[in-house]
Amino acid sequence: MNQVGGTAVVALSGLANQRVSVLDFQTVSGVNWAKVCLANGTAGWLDQRLLAKSATNNFGMNLTALSATQRSFALAVAQAAIKVGKQYGVYPSIILAQAAGETGWGTSKLATAANNLFGIKADSTWQGATYVVASPEVENGKTVMRNSTFRKYATLKDSVADYALKLTGSVLYVKALRGNSSNAINACQDLSEWATDPHYVTTLQTRIKNYAMSALDNL
């Protein structure tokens, strides 16, 4: 294939030595493509399998400490985070940091059985599928397990999109949006109400720093 959506396919040659900005994602005939812009100004579509093999496969993040399974999860969520983040004005780094923390890098039962990456519960406004599972809650300084009904999604991207809608639709998280904060680390300060864990914000900030997730915010 020489074109995707009318735009030329980018060759891998020289890619490892260049900064790559990912603009979009598209699936054509079963192949996943990433629309990229190279530092030299070249733009086009790149087979995501090649992107994953290049030196820039981690979108600029430092994922060396992760297992192959964890890294695969991080990259899958990052793809959705970049696209949804642009659409809703949410920091992709925060999306990934929260998803990693909430699911244990994609290993939680809520993530594997319901594609729910952010622990969003099914309130009275939710009309979709649901999933009941025990989850940790902090009550009076102690962590206890409580059965709760959560939203169930068809795909990881659906979960990311619903998360963005929740974030942008609440007055609680106004300062967590890109337009109201100078960077993702500062934006995390406005996410203290997301979970009952008193260390939630600092844990998010540490995860973003340790894995250089802020690189996603520049794509």
H or E stretch covering 47: strand 43-47
Distances from the Cα of 111 to the Cαs of 38, 158, 163, in angstroms?
Answer: 34, 12, 14
Contact call for residues 146 and 135 (beta carbons, < 8 A):
yes
Of 137, 139, 190, 217, which one is the catalytic site residue?
Answer: 137
**Which among 162, 190, 193, 217 is annotated as catalytic?**
162
Alpha-carbon span 155 to 162, nearest angstrom: 11
The SS3 call for residue 23 is strand
Based on the residue annotation, tell me whether 137 is a catalytic residue of this protein.
yes
Q: Residue 24 catalytic? A: no
The Cα–Cα gap between 16 and 67 comes to 22
Per-residue pLDDT of the chain (219 residues; tens, 9 = 90+): 444 444 444 444 445 445 556 666 677 777 767 777 666 666 777 666 655 544 346 888 999 899 989 998 999 999 899 999 999 999 999 999 999 999 999 999 999 999 999 999 999 999 999 999 887 777 888 888 889 999 999 999 999 999 999 999 999 999 999 999 999 999 999 999 888 888 999 999 999 999 999 999 988
